[in-house]
Amino acid sequence: MSSPPPLSLHPDRLLPVDPTVRDIARRLYEAVEGLPIISPHGHVDARMLLDDVPFADPATLFVTPDHYVTRLLHASGVSLGALGVGRTQLSEDDARQIWRLLCSHWPVYRGTPVRFWLESELAQIFGVQVRPSARTADDIYDTVAAKLEQPEFRPRALFDRFGISVLATTDDPCDDLSAHAALAADESFRGRVIPTFRPDRYLEPASKGWADLVDRLGKVADVDTGTYAGWAAAMENRRQYFIRHGAVSADHSHQDARTDPLEPAEAERIYAAARAGDVTAAEGDALRRHMVLEMARMSCDDGLVMTLHPAVRRGHHGPTLEEFGPDTGHDIPVPVEFTDALRPLLERFGTHPNLHLVPFTVDETVFSSEIAPLAGFYPSVYVGAPWWFLDAPDAVRRFRAAVTETAGFARTSGFIDDTRAFCSIPARHDMSRRLDSGFIAQLVAEHRLDLDEALDTAVDLVAQRPVEAFKL
Amino acid sequence: MSSPPPLSLHPDRLLPVDPTVRDIARRLYEAVEGLPIISPHGHVDARMLLDDVPFADPATLFVTPDHYVTRLLHASGVSLGALGVGRTQLSEDDARQIWRLLCSHWPVYRGTPVRFWLESELAQIFGVQVRPSARTADDIYDTVAAKLEQPEFRPRALFDRFGISVLATTDDPCDDLSAHAALAADESFRGRVIPTFRPDRYLEPASKGWADLVDRLGKVADVDTGTYAGWAAAMENRRQYFIRHGAVSADHSHQDARTDPLEPAEAERIYAAARAGDVTAAEGDALRRHMVLEMARMSCDDGLVMTLHPAVRRGHHGPTLEEFGPDTGHDIPVPVEFTDALRPLLERFGTHPNLHLVPFTVDETVFSSEIAPLAGFYPSVYVGAPWWFLDAPDAVRRFRAAVTETAGFARTSGFIDDTRAFCSIPARHDMSRRLDSGFIAQLVAEHRLDLDEALDTAVDLVAQRPVEAFKL
Amino acid sequence: MSSPPPLSLHPDRLLPVDPTVRDIARRLYEAVEGLPIISPHGHVDARMLLDDVPFADPATLFVTPDHYVTRLLHASGVSLGALGVGRTQLSEDDARQIWRLLCSHWPVYRGTPVRFWLESELAQIFGVQVRPSARTADDIYDTVAAKLEQPEFRPRALFDRFGISVLATTDDPCDDLSAHAALAADESFRGRVIPTFRPDRYLEPASKGWADLVDRLGKVADVDTGTYAGWAAAMENRRQYFIRHGAVSADHSHQDARTDPLEPAEAERIYAAARAGDVTAAEGDALRRHMVLEMARMSCDDGLVMTLHPAVRRGHHGPTLEEFGPDTGHDIPVPVEFTDALRPLLERFGTHPNLHLVPFTVDETVFSSEIAPLAGFYPSVYVGAPWWFLDAPDAVRRFRAAVTETAGFARTSGFIDDTRAFCSIPARHDMSRRLDSGFIAQLVAEHRLDLDEALDTAVDLVAQRPVEAFKL
């Protein structure tokens, strides 16, 4: 029986193929390859770093909680149940079985960024040298599992090894941020781990459970949230709390990006109706849009960067949502519109010196027609990096090609990894650096940019854009 | 006078230009070039193969019935009348004159896939060696016409020569499929020619003539279609009839892709109103969407693959529609939406093991944002190949780049030619094989895929994807 | 101190990088590089050429009036006031200070076409040999300012040097076109400078000031515009006036592209209401759409080419609009739809031999799905060149790739520069010629087009497309 195919990472992977362009791209990539990782938006749990408990097993680390990975297995006929989705602890047998499912379905990831990330993680972090397959699954499992028991594979050690200089988490406004506080107070951990204010659920007055949420918000903030004004005061209070714990941004993900204001009395009226559970979906949307506008006003006051991740139909498949919960692979994008949606916000605050507004989209049609023109005029608007389904080689190239000619490089946010898969962070940033190096190299090869400018731009995208856009 | 420019097909046509990528692409293409043609969706007439009558003349074969070809001539100022559109028989003078119009307008096809197809057909099937032009028109006409009289240029001989292993036609639910039956019973013909159930017209209750159609449906199915329940029963009956004659799929082309259910009583009410000719356009749409959902339910019951070709404004230019009939070049795409439109269907049947749903689009904006994410979760959803205006080199490359990173290769349908131009079938499949070879080769050259995987994928796209997606 | 980086224009800039493709592209570009410039749509002032007054200073020439340039400076934190926006005369100190702002922000233009245009202008017209920067700003200012005093840098001399064979301006229907008349009568000026009929403001009955405008229109046309019929007659009158002064086209830029007809009585009713200032926004839109349809009817009658530039939200940032006026960098695209919008117009006039309709878009999603299919059937429809935010290298490549496969080259309009920056005209046309050469060369390298056809096409795009589309 022949050896299984090797898993080897080519040093030029994702760089342009043309020899002239590749040579330039290599020079650019060399300049950024080793720079510290700045991660201003993601979903890693601060407590993981605080507790520094070893990762449980390869399946829990790579498969079960990561909807990027489970999605395509599900589409290929593997049930989410068989992948352990929704379970927090797996027996070794289950974990090994899940791992085999991943490895035996390896071909379904061909051409996807998941493949790139997983390969990078397996090879670079865990030293795996064979391609995953049914045949190699157990060996790889054993290799990774053995490593996970070693101290240098615990979260803090990896945090250092990854070269992460800033890591932002995503947190509920009512979170006491005790993990962040403890981590900041822990002299044995020198990393910068900061919370992000994510108030979405408190801005959806027509959603089930909203009234209870704002009750709780009121208690935590010690502010009466019985009125809209109280809601706003409680939000201001919690934002301050987050700022004191290091937060630099507030993130919003709603069905649309609208920011239409309501008359104060109408806002109060809908708010009261929603508290009483007597609100229509349209009223809920109207108040939410007003609330988003209010959050922009707060950003002008307190300086938190405002990020928007709109227009995804969450939990598209009801039965799966019910059985396995949210974030299980069936959030599907819908068209988005920014030009008119953001106009009320930008008319009011678009030139305010304190506002940084970073719109993200999974509907790439707006990159050239809406987001780049907005960021190409408003000093407050930064183009969000390609996100989720678009955080992938060809999509990133389309993004740069669509955005740069109108907004340049300077008006972009820098890369965000947006991941809950801790070990994928270096691979994701590496992918971004390779792709940007390739894009910029193409400009040089077409004589649209000189090499010294290209080098300066490549470094700026990694080291300065996120610092500026996210006020780090 | 100098010789006219030659018509010669370069062996590397449509392959990537970069030498590294081209070398890889050649190896992939060599592996798929000669594989049998699987054509699971198209518009060839089964009777043509049954009767095996010689093709009439070059104009009838290449121009008159093919709106891909006549479209650009019309845009260039040639009237459809002058092209014989709508006529089934042409005099030799007319045929030659039409052929001259095509040849003398050859430059208008530069950069289009029509040019590629016609060149391939003329050179590879008919041995034409000069470029079409006013000057060469008569010579080419004579060459082709002479060939058409030979037995090896009759439909069955070409079917064999083309290496077609499966050919699906498109058929009305009331069709008795006698041509299919006769062809299947004909021991001198070994090809597999299968019908496709295409019930569109029976799902448009607000359209003129609908009541007569469902009357006829009832008669053919021997079911009383006086009620909605009867309509559904008649549909089930005819689907079974089609399945017995080899059908594997049912195709739907409506203005949108919505699948909203109606209450049973409301469905019956609108149905009755429509039977009485007293229905609004909005009611007609509502019932049609309910009917599409019903067809998905039937697909779960009887296993017919469900394909969708939505969002084309048919017969955009009324005067031309009136004079020359449908399919005369002025069907124009409108925006499509799948995420919300298909949600009722997918909530109910999206994980049903019998359902295969293949959405096609001519609005390419939904490839990355809607279709790929849907196919990347639902095991029932296969990404339809680029179709109609998008069945072209650059569009196919955009398709693969937009879809693969989210859905991989495994969730795609394989190529469909969707053509009524029989002789273009090999050229269309060849184009697809060349383009996919080039796309996959690029992944190899960027070190995103190993060569053995690339070869496996290239063969899989041609030989296995359509077999799986269309249950062949 | 080292020398500042040079500003040198590489002869191959914007051509494809692959050596095979670049060689072909060079041959094509050589064939078109020196052809005369045809500019059938732009915003240069005819009076500038009539008066032939020297340009004031580098800031007024390159920065202050050009929202392409000021936009990204504003986004980078420079106020429009500091850039002199809205001022017609600058002191030398102010001009120099504005110039320094441009040069010191040079990196924000990396990757943008503005950079390409400005570099070309500075190097090719003014002989600047160093890259703009804070350090070189004063030297470059002095170099340019000194040139501007020389007779060969006055408008007419540059017009000749640029090789402009036709230049269309954009003019109000009430303009007396005296500058055009004087220029035509001036035997010392041999250029062809023609007006364009731009009636937008007269078609927006719900806009402030509309009633006064149509009063004025009536006076100028000597027609009573108290009724809709009078409005139409006045329009016809002014179109004739423009035609007599050389106009070949009428341009329209509205929020949408709709052309729905009204019943005559309803048109009169809304018209009368609007005259009385008692009209809703929806009524205003309805009448405007009817008026656009009426203008198409007039185009069939009088032969003026009809161009459409729809779907831009003008003056997005109210405070800036108020302080600095229109065209100050915050016009932001919104989605556009053509298939249904133009249907009433095309049903009526789409095959009329006198109609040439040229739709432009800044929403590139409609290139492949709507505009190309329309132009690929209707002999009246020509695909407008990529415009505004899309007049840039990567966008132009996307345009050709999206349009050509359905509409070919023959159905496109040829390049339009649409600029008010006179000195950028050669650079803009040069960019277009380079990009088209590269696109066509790629087709040759992929064996989709022969070299002789490629040469013919490249020349045709520059020399014949605009002549045909704009009836020059």
Tens digit of pLDDT for each residue in C362-379?
A: 999 999 999 999 999 999
Q: What is the DSSP string of C242-308?
A: HHHTT--EEEE--S--------HHHHHHHHHHHHTT---HHHHHHHHHHHHHHHHHHHHHH--EEEE
Q: What is the pLDDT of residue B1?
A: 64
Please state, in angstroms and as integers, the Cα–Cα distance from residue B388 to each residue in A80, B67, B108, B331, C379, following that order: 36, 11, 18, 10, 20
pLDDT above 90 for B301 = yes
pLDDT above 80 for C31 = yes
Confidence of residue C88 (pLDDT cuts 50, 70, 90): confident
- Closest residue of chain B to C20, computed from CA coordinates: B17
> Cβ of B278: how many Cβ atoms within 10 Å?
9
Beta strand ranges found along C114-271 (DSSP E) = 164-168, 192-194, 249-252
Q: Which is nearest to A193 in space by CA: A171, A172, A173?
A: A171
Please report residues of C whose CB lies closer than 8 A to that of B389: 368-369, 372-373, 405-406
- Closest residue of chain A to B468, computed from CA coordinates: A76
Which residue matches tokens 């100022």?
Answer: B77
ipTM: 0.97
Confidence of residue C99 (pLDDT cuts 50, 70, 90): very high
Q: At what angle do helices A19-32 and A425-445 cross, to 10 degrees?
A: 130
Contact criterion met (CB < 8 Å) for A313 and B343: yes
Q: What is the pLDDT of residue C2?
A: 84
Q: What is the pLDDT of residue A88?
A: 84
Q: What is the pLDDT of residue A362?
A: 97
Q: How many CB pairs under 8 A join A and C?
A: 140
pLDDT above 90 for B64 = yes
Please state, in angstroms and as integers, the Cα–Cα distance from residue C281 to each residue in A262, C205, C268, C284, C337, following that order: 21, 9, 16, 5, 20
Q: What is the pLDDT of residue A1?
A: 64
CB C153 within 8 A of CB C54: yes
Q: What is the dihedral of CA A114, A117, A120, A125, to 10 degrees?
A: -120
Contact criterion met (CB < 8 Å) for C379 and B15: no
CB B290 within 8 A of CB B260: yes
A438 to chain B, closest Cα gap in Å: 11
How much is the average pLDDT of B416-442?
A: 97
Q: Which is nearest to C442 in space by CA: C397, C406, C412, C402?
A: C397
Please report residues of C whose CB lies closer than 8 A to that of A345: none
Residue C368: which of B12, B18, B389 has the nearest Cβ? Answer: B389
Residue A379: which of C76, C109, C392 has the nearest Cβ? Answer: C76
Please state, in angstroms and as integers, the Cα–Cα distance from residue A91 to each residue in A54, A88, A410, C205, following that order: 16, 10, 49, 72
Amino acid A44 reads V
Buried b (16+ CB within 10 A) or exposed e, A61-90: bbbbbbbbbbbbbbbbebebeebbbebeeb
- Closest residue of chain B to C382, computed from CA coordinates: B75
B361 to chain C, closest Cα gap in Å: 10
Number of H helices, E strands in chain C: 21, 8
Nearest-Å Rg of the Cα atoms of chain B is 23
Percent of chain C beyond pLDDT 70?
A: 100
- Closest residue of chain B to C18, computed from CA coordinates: B18
- Alpha-carbon distance of C287 to C305, in angstroms, equals 22
Fold of the CATH domain C54-152: uronate isomerase, domain 2, chain A (1.10.2020)
Q: Which of A9, A17, A129, A370 to mutate to test the interface with B (most CBs of B within 10 A)?
A: A17
Residue A12: which of B21, B401, B447 has the nearest Cβ? Answer: B447
B265 to chain C, closest Cα gap in Å: 34
Rounded to 5°, angle at Cα C239 from C233 and C241: 105
Q: Which of C21, C24, C378 to mutate to test the interface with B (most CBs of B within 10 A)?
A: C378
Contacts of C208 (CB under 8 A, 6+ apart): none
From the number of C-beta atoms within 10 Å of its C-beta (0-12, 13-18, 19+), residue B257 rates as buried
> Of 3.20.20.140, 3.40.50.300, 3.80.30.20, 3.40.50.620, which CATH number belongs to B156-469?
3.20.20.140
> Which tokens in the block code for residue B40?
């699971």
Q: Which of A370, A412, A448 to mutate to test the interface with C (most CBs of C within 10 A)?
A: A448
Contact criterion met (CB < 8 Å) for A110 and B453: yes
- Alpha-carbon distance of B472 to B9, in angstroms, equals 33
pLDDT above 70 for C76 = yes
Looking at the DSSP bridge assignments, the partners of residue C307 are C251, C358
Q: What is the pLDDT of residue B88?
A: 85
* SS3 of residue C240 by DSSP: helix
Q: Which is nearest to B438 in space by CA: B36, B112, B17?
A: B17
Which residue matches tokens 């019998």?
Answer: B354
Mean pLDDT, chain C, whole residue set: 97
Beta strand ranges found along A121-179 (DSSP E) = 164-168
Contact criterion met (CB < 8 Å) for A448 and C319: no
pLDDT, tens digit, 9 for 90 and up, residues C193-208 = 999 999 999 999 999 9
Contact criterion met (CB < 8 Å) for C75 and A369: no
- Alpha-carbon distance of A386 to A367, in angstroms, equals 10
Please report residues of A whose CB lies closer than 8 A to that of B450: 5, 131
- Alpha-carbon distance of A331 to A324, in angstroms, equals 13
Q: How many CB pairs under 8 A join B and C?
A: 140
- Alpha-carbon distance of C403 to C358, in angstroms, equals 14
Confidence of residue B62 (pLDDT cuts 50, 70, 90): very high
How much is the average pLDDT of C116-123?
A: 98
Positions in chain A short of pLDDT 70? 1
Which residue matches tokens 């659920």?
Answer: A201
Q: What is the CATH number of domain B57-149?
A: 1.10.2020.10
- Closest residue of chain A to B18, computed from CA coordinates: A18
How much is the average pLDDT of C270-278?
A: 97
Q: Which of A343, A358, A403, A406 to mutate to test the interface with C (most CBs of C within 10 A)?
A: A406
Q: What is the pLDDT of residue C1?
A: 64
- Alpha-carbon distance of C295 to C290, in angstroms, equals 9
Looking at the DSSP bridge assignments, the partners of residue C38 are C166
* SS3 of residue B332 by DSSP: strand
- Closest residue of chain B to A109, computed from CA coordinates: B408
Please report residues of C whose CB lies closer than 8 A to that of A409: 110-111
Contacts of B463 (CB under 8 A, 6+ apart): B32, B35, B36, B38
Reduced DSSP (H G I as helix, E B as strand, rest coil) percent helix, strand, coil of chain C, to 5: 55, 5, 40
pLDDT above 90 for B40 = yes
Q: Which is nearest to C384 in space by CA: C417, C423, C355?
A: C417
Contact criterion met (CB < 8 Å) for C333 and A369: yes
Contact criterion met (CB < 8 Å) for A332 and B377: yes
| Domain residue limits, chain C | 54-152, 156-469
Amino acid C185 reads A
pLDDT above 90 for C306 = yes
Please state, in angstroms and as integers, the Cα–Cα distance from residue A27 to each residue in A10, A415, A437, B379, C445, following that order: 16, 20, 8, 43, 29
- Alpha-carbon distance of B332 to C349, in angstroms, equals 17
Reduced DSSP (H G I as helix, E B as strand, rest coil) percent helix, strand, coil of chain B, to 5: 55, 5, 40
User: Looking at residue B227, what DSSP letter applies?
Assistant: S
Cα–chain-centroid distance for residue A205? 25
Please report residues of A whose CB lies closer than 8 A to that of C363: 365, 369
Q: Which of A14, A394, A442 to mutate to test the interface with B (most CBs of B within 10 A)?
A: A394
Q: What is the DSSP string of B39-84?
A: E-S----HHHHHH-PPP--HHHHHTTT-HHHHHHHHHTT--TGGGT
* Sheet arrangement for strand C249-252: C249-252, C305-308, C357-359
Rounded to 5°, angle at Cα A264 from A258 and A266: 75
- Closest residue of chain A to C395, computed from CA coordinates: A402
Please report residues of C whose CB lies closer than 8 A to that of A21: 17
Q: Which of C447, C449, C455 to mutate to test the interface with B (most CBs of B within 10 A)?
A: C447
Residue C74: which of A377, A448, A456 has the nearest Cβ? Answer: A377
CB B433 within 8 A of CB B57: no
Contact criterion met (CB < 8 Å) for B408 and A13: no
Contact criterion met (CB < 8 Å) for C446 and B15: yes
Whole-model pTM above 0.90? yes
The chains found to touch B (3+ Cβ pairs under 8 angstroms) are: A, C
Contacts of B150 (CB under 8 A, 6+ apart): none
Please report residues of A whose CB lies closer than 8 A to that of B379: 74-77
